[in-house]
């Protein structure tokens, strides 16, 4: 049972426009969400995160929105640049709950973003 879902395997966007990547989750215990970016032949790199006590977090061109009632989050990239072309993974954890599993991340399958010059 997939607890973190990224239903769009790929997305193409023109350079300069907004990219919106979506993520849905089913586990109501999740209280911390992260986005990672992955280039081919490299490991994922941390991009931005949000705690469940917030509904928005912004870092430069990247903004993450969280809708807890809908169990949905999205990553907005504006303006999109060709260097943003990568696979983006949504991840979640239940860090508010103590125990050995509190730092584990559950990942989605990723969305491949292509920014066209």
Partner 1 sequence: EADIYQTPRYLVIGTGKKITLECSQTMGHDKMYWYQQDPGMELHLIHYSYGVNSTEKGDLSSESTVSRIRTEHFPLTLESARPSHTSQYLCASSGNRGLGSPLHFGNGTRLTVT
Binding site for partner 1 (CB under 8 A): 2, 4, 9, 32, 34, 36, 41-46, 49, 51, 89, 95, 100, 103-110
Q: Is 111:4 a contact under the CB 8 Å cutoff?
A: no
Find the shortest distance in angstroms from Cβ 73 to partner 1. 15
From the CB of residue 30, how many other CB atoms can be counted at a distance below 10 Å?
A: 23
Find the shortest distance in angstroms from Cβ 95 to partner 1. 6
Beta strand pairing call for 56-59 and 62-67 = antiparallel
Find the shortest distance in angstroms from Cβ 110 to partner 1. 7
């Amino acid at each position: 049972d997939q607890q973190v879902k990224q239903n769009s395997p790929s997305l193409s966007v023109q350079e300069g426009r907004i990219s919106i990547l979506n993520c849905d989750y089913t586990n109501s215990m999740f209280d911390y969400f992260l986005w990672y970016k992955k280039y081919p032949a490299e490991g994922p790199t941390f991009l931005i995160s949000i705690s469940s006590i917030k509904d928005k977090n912004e870092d430069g061109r990247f903004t993450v929105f969280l809708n807890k009632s809908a169990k949905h989050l999205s990553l907005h990239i504006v303006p999109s640049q060709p260097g943003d072309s990568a696979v983006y993974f949504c991840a979640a954890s239940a860090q508010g709950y103590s125990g050995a599993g509190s730092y584990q991340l559950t990942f989605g399958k990723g969305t491949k973003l292509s920014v066209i010059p």
